[in-house]
Amino acid sequence: LPFYPQWKIYDRYKRKNWHREKINGVNVYRVPLYVPQKITGKTRILHELSFNLNSFVYWIPIFFRRYDVVIGICPPMQMGLWPYIYKAIRKRPFIFHIQDLQVDAARNLELIKNQYLIRFLEKIEKFFLRKATIVSTISEGMKRNIQGKGVKGNNIFLLPNWVDTDFIKPLPKEQSLKKEFGFKNDDKIILYSGNMGEKQGLEIVINVAKRFKNKRNIHFVFVGEGAAKERLINMVKEKGLGNVEFFSLQPYEKLPNLMAMADLHLVLQKRSASDLVMPSKLTSILSAGGIAIVTAGAGTSLHDVVEDNRIAILIEPENEKMLYEAIHKNMNNNLEEIKANARSYAEKFLNKDEILRKFETLLLKLIQEEI
């Protein structure tokens, strides 16, 4: 059942439990799951395990049918189980798509501190990765990490997060959400939009905002939900900051207008999360021709992509001084070259149609080889 990003079951699904619905012609099967009030490493494991076990009800009839390809998506990592069993029974290709290297992130961010549990999860993860026909993932750095887990390079397919460049495109400030959100035309907006979780280390933004508290036209704006949102709101209250504001997740239809509101975008993650996750929010920012301040350690795929293509402003992760200086220096700069580079990169490398065309080619190749 849908719960993300608020970590609460949506009201319209609260009494539905197991059921089927059709979305854009696709059958979607919903199952109940445990959604913890407090998100920790262990409660998240239970949360994902409940989804995996409850979904077995719908996998039973699937095992008796023959499909061309079966695809599992991680997270949750345990979701490799049923596609693997289907592959074993039906001898059909299994694609395991990795959005996050979940176990590595849990270890590096100390979300799970029990080393026995970490090693157990690593064994399960490696098993699914090695049993998949193809492992797809979203960045070169994650591809390297997956190879380090024993998957051959020719069995890994790069499938970046795409963006609809026709929909998300540069817009004039007049079409932004500034007025709707209550800001003046000459206000400067530093925007963080997306999930507010542990991987991002967003506390640093609150500390930097404190240094700008006497600049009345500079606003730090958070848009979205996540496990860390309440803690961030409490930090702002404790510091008595009037220049930090929080808004709920906006409808997808308003995303281009939201992007246009920002003078600077923030794309942050902790150093220990480097090359374990790829910030998907960056794709929308690039497509909108936005100016992003990106935290990435040297040698990571994110750092290399940004530096080689000059599509954003790079700073070190978890460096408060560098974040402050990057905002202070670039707040009033147009940076037209970066804007143009960002949009060009999105059109060339992140275009939805081109990425899906390559994925379709992979699917057809797998099907033909199995016939």
Residue 6 clears pLDDT 90, i.e. is over it: no
Q: In this predicted structure, what is the pLDDT of residue 276?
A: 63
Q: In this predicted structure, what is the pLDDT of residue 275?
A: 64
Q: In this predicted structure, what is the pLDDT of residue 39?
A: 83
Burial-class residue 231 by CB neighbours within 10 Å (0-12, 13-18, 19+). Answer: middle
The conformation of residue 313, written as its DSSP 8-state character, comes to: E
Residue 278 clears pLDDT 80, i.e. is over it: no
Q: How far apart are CA 96 and CA 124, in angstroms?
A: 13
Q: In this predicted structure, what is the pLDDT of residue 245?
A: 97
CA neighbor of 216 nearest in space, from 243, 196, 256, 180: 243
Q: How far apart are CA 220 and CA 205, in angstroms?
A: 8
Q: In this predicted structure, what is the pLDDT of residue 133?
A: 96
Pairing assessment for the beta strands 19-23 and 26-30 based on DSSP bridges = antiparallel
* Residue linked to tokens 């798509």: 97
- Tens digits of per-residue pLDDT, 11-49? 999 888 999 999 999 999 999 999 998 888 889 899 999
Instruction: Provide CATH 3.40.50.2000 ranges for the chain.
Output: 11-162+352-370, 173-349
- Tens digits of per-residue pLDDT, 39-75? 888 898 999 999 999 999 999 999 999 999 999 999 9
Burial-class residue 73 by CB neighbours within 10 Å (0-12, 13-18, 19+). Answer: middle
CATH number of 11-162+352-370: 3.40.50.2000
Q: Give the chain's mean pLDDT.
A: 93
Percent of the chain's residues with pLDDT above 70: 98
Count of alpha carbons within 13 angstroms of residue 138, beta-carbon side: 23
| Fold type of domain 173-349 | Rossmann fold (3.40.50)
Q: In this predicted structure, what is the pLDDT of residue 260?
A: 96
- Residues 184-214: b if buried by 16+ CB within 10 A, e if exposed: eeebbbbbbbbbbbbbbbbebbbebbbebee
pLDDT band at 273 (very low <50, low <70, confident <90, very high): confident
Counts for the chain of helices (H) and strands (E), in that order: 14, 12
The mean pLDDT value for 113-133 works out to: 94
Output the CA–CA distances (angstroms, integers) from residue 276 to 192, 304, 313, in the order listed. 20, 15, 21
Q: In this predicted structure, what is the pLDDT of residue 212?
A: 96
Residue 268 clears pLDDT 70, i.e. is over it: yes
pLDDT band at 110 (very low <50, low <70, confident <90, very high): confident
Q: In this predicted structure, what is the pLDDT of residue 97?
A: 97
Q: How far apart are CA 268 and CA 270, in angstroms?
A: 7
Q: In this predicted structure, what is the pLDDT of residue 22?
A: 95
- Tens digits of per-residue pLDDT, 152-198? 999 999 999 999 999 999 999 889 999 999 999 999 999 999 999 88
Contacts of 100 (CB under 8 A, 6+ apart): 74, 75, 276, 277
Q: How far apart are CA 6 and CA 140, in angstroms?
A: 30
CA neighbor of 319 nearest in space, from 269, 263, 244, 281: 269
Q: In this predicted structure, what is the pLDDT of residue 81?
A: 96
Output the CA–CA distances (angstroms, integers) from residue 273 to 49, 197, 262, 295, in the order listed. 23, 12, 25, 11
The mean pLDDT value for 321-333 works out to: 93
The mean pLDDT value for 100-127 works out to: 90
Provide the token pair at 65: 């049918």
Helix axes 320-330, 203-211, angle to 10 degrees: 50
